[in-house]
Each structure stands twice: as C-alpha cells, then as structure tokens.
Amino acid sequence: MKLVLASKNPKKLGELQEILSGLGVEVLSETEAGVDVEVEETGSTFEENALLKARAVMQASGLPSVADDSGLCVDALGGAPGVYSARYGGPDLDDAGRYRLLLENMRGQLDRRCRFVSAICCCFPNGDKIEARGECAGTLAYAPRGTEGFGYDPVFFLPEEKKTFAQLTAEEKNAISHRGRALAAFCQRLKEYQENK
C-alpha cells in the first residue's frame, strides 16, 4: 500500500517510513506523490486539523494520505497554546521566544500541569478514515533545561524522570512521547485495517 504524508517536514517522513516499513507500507512525500498542498489549520482541535490536512492531500493525490497535528496544552491556561502552539505569540517568535512567552504567562502560577497531544488522521479515497491520539503528561518547568529536541521541549518537565524532554535522547523521548504513542496506536490500527480488507 502507498500512503502519502501530508507534511513538508522530512524528519516526520523518515520517522513514519521507519515505523510503517514492517507493514509493507510505502510512505511517499507530497513531492513524490506529485502534489503540493497548502492547508489552513482552521480547526479548533488537533483532530480537526489532522483531518483537514489528510483529506486535502488525499483529494489532490488520489492516494491514502496521513497527517498529524500536535501541540502543548497547559491546564492553568485553559489548554493554551494548544492548536496554536506553533504560532503562539505571533510569527516573529522562534521556538525559544515562544517558550519564554509561555513561562512569562505562567509566572507566579503554581498549577504547572500540562500535556503534549498528538492526533493522527489517515484518509482513504473510499471514504474510510483511521484516527489515533497520543498524550504525554508533565509539568511546565520554571526555566528551560536541556538542548535536545525542538519546540517546547526545554520547558516540558517529566517529574518521574526528573528531566525535561530536551534532556532525553531522541530514542528515550520517542518511547514515551505523545507522537510516539499516537504513531504506535496508528500503526496498530493500520495493521488491523489491512488485515480486514
């Protein structure tokens, strides 16, 4: 089976190719599938955004397409930045600017509970759909620590590890992260889908 990844991120492509290679699934980039789709992420949930992206690429390519949407939800901020994680604070901020703004907005707040969420959606031309979600709960650190990873990793603290995501190796992070969990669940569902066809 061929599956198109609705993303311009080469890292996500490599990750999905590796996870799905055992299922005999060939993962194509948008370029390899001959499409270039810009989708506005107008959904109010991670699931809606993943569906918008996967459906648009499936319609353009005529092939089953998969997309993910993810972000960090902070309890004391009513779930913000949430679906706006990549755009938090506007277009001029970089990753460090965004997590500094988040720390600033959480100054003095003792309830530091937060979670990373990842939603994956796969749309098939016949109308079938496979969805999967993964979460990883932690607390928002008071100051950044660590140099690995990306995004909000330096301020996402795992109390049981006594480390931030940015202090874990990629392998350690994948084993427990929201994206690792969502991908594992997706892989299982895709396997069942193929078996039942």
Q: Which residues are catalytic?
A: 69
For residue 171, the SS3 value is helix
Position of minimal CB gap to ligand IMP? 151
152 is a contact residue toward ligand IMP (CB under 6 A): yes
Q: What is the Cα gyration radius of the chain?
A: 17
Alpha carbon distance 122, 64 (integer Å): 7
Instruction: Name the segment binding ligand IMP (CB under 6 A); options: 14-22, 56-64, 70-78, 187-195.
Output: 70-78
Asked if the bond preceding 91 is cis, omega within 30° of 0, the reply is no
116 is a contact residue toward ligand IMP (CB under 6 A): yes
Residues touching ligand IMP, count (CB under 6 A): 15
Q: In the chain, what is the straight-line distance between the N-terminal and C-terminal CA atoms, in Å?
A: 12
Closest CA to 25 of 157, 124, 105: 124
64 is a contact residue toward ligand IMP (CB under 6 A): no
- Residue 80's contacts (CB-CB under 8 Å, 6 or more residues apart) are 73, 74, 88
Q: Which residues within the stretch 156-175 sit at the binding site for ligand IMP (CB under 6 A)?
A: 165
154 is a contact residue toward ligand IMP (CB under 6 A): no
Instruction: Name the segment binding ligand IMP (CB under 6 A); options: 25-33, 57-65, 66-74, 181-189.
Output: 66-74
Contact residues: ligand IMP, CB under 6 A: 69-72, 85-86, 116, 149-153, 165, 177, 179
